[in-house]
Homo-oligomer: A and B are copies of this chain.
Amino acid sequence: MAHEFRVWAPERERVELVLGERRLPMRPAAGGWWERAVEEAGPGTDYAYALDGGPPWPDPRSPYQPHGPHGPSRLVGHAAFPWTDAAWRGTPLPGAVLYELHVGTFSPEGTFDGVIERLPHLAELGVDAIELMPVAEFSGRRGWGYDGVSLYAPHHAYGGPDGLKRLVDACHAHGLGVVMDVVYNHLGPSGNYLPRFGPYFTGRHSTNWGDGVNFDGPGSGEVRAFVIDNALMWLRDYHCDGLRLDAVHAIADDSAAHILERLAEEVAELAAHVRRPLFLIAESDLNDPRFVRSRESGGYGLDAAWADEWHHALHAVLTGERDGYYADFGPLGLLVKALRQAWVYDGTWSPHRGRTHGRSPAGLPGHRFVVCAQNHDQVGNRARGERSGALMSEGRLRVAAALLLTAPFTPMVFQGEEWGASTPFQYFTDHEDPELGRAVSEGRRREFAAFGWEPGQVPDPQDPATFERSRLDWSEPGKEPHARLLAWHRELIALRRRLPALTDGRLGRVRAGGDEAAGLVSVERGPVLVAANLG
Interface residues of A (CB under 8 A from B): 87-92, 94-96, 128, 265, 268-277, 293-299, 363-365, 367, 500, 503-506
Contact = CB atoms under 8 A, between A and B. Distances in A.
Contacts of A367: 272
A155 B88 CA distance: 33
B91 A88 contact: no
Contacts of A295: 363
Contact of A275 (B91, B265, B274): B91
Contacts of A268: 94, 365, 505
A92 B296 contact: no
B272 A503 contact: yes
Nearest to A366: B272
Contacts of A94: 268, 271-272
Nearest to A275: B95
A116 to B, nearest CB: 20
Given A91-B275, A92-B277, A95-B271, 13 more contacts: A87-B87, A88-B89, A89-B89, A90-B92, A94-B268, A95-B275, A265-B506, A268-B365, A269-B504, A269-B505, A272-B367, A272-B503, A297-B297
B275 A92 contact: yes
A73 B269 CA distance: 46
B89 A273 contact: no
A272 B296 CA distance: 22
A270 B500 contact: yes
A128 B504 CA distance: 28
A364 B301 CA distance: 13
Given A296-B363, A296-B364, A503 B273 contact: yes
A514 B531 CA distance: 66
27 contacts: A88-B89, A89-B90, A91-B275, A92-B271, A92-B272, A92-B275, A92-B276, A92-B277, A94-B272, A95-B271, A95-B272, A95-B273, A95-B274, A96-B275, A128-B275, A265-B506, A268-B365, A269-B505, A269-B506, A272-B503, A272-B504, A273-B503, A273-B504, A294-B294, A294-B296, A296-B297, A296-B364
A358 to B, nearest CB: 17
A171 to B, nearest CB: 13
Contacts of A294: 294, 296-297
Contacts of A269: 500, 503-506
Contacts of A265: 506
Contacts of A293: 296
A510 to B, nearest CB: 13
Nearest to A502: B273
Contacts of A276: 89, 92
A534 B464 CA distance: 72
Contacts of A89: 88-91, 276
A372 B298 CA distance: 31
Q: Which one of A89, A271, A272 has the greatest number of beta carbons of chain B within 10 Å?
A: A272
Nearest to A410: B272
Contacts of A506: 265, 269
B275 A277 contact: no
A274 B274 CA distance: 21
Contacts of A299: 296
A506 B266 CA distance: 9
A128 B89 CA distance: 12
Given A293-B296, A296-B293, A365-B268, A500 B92 contact: no
A462 B327 CA distance: 78
A361 to B, nearest CB: 11
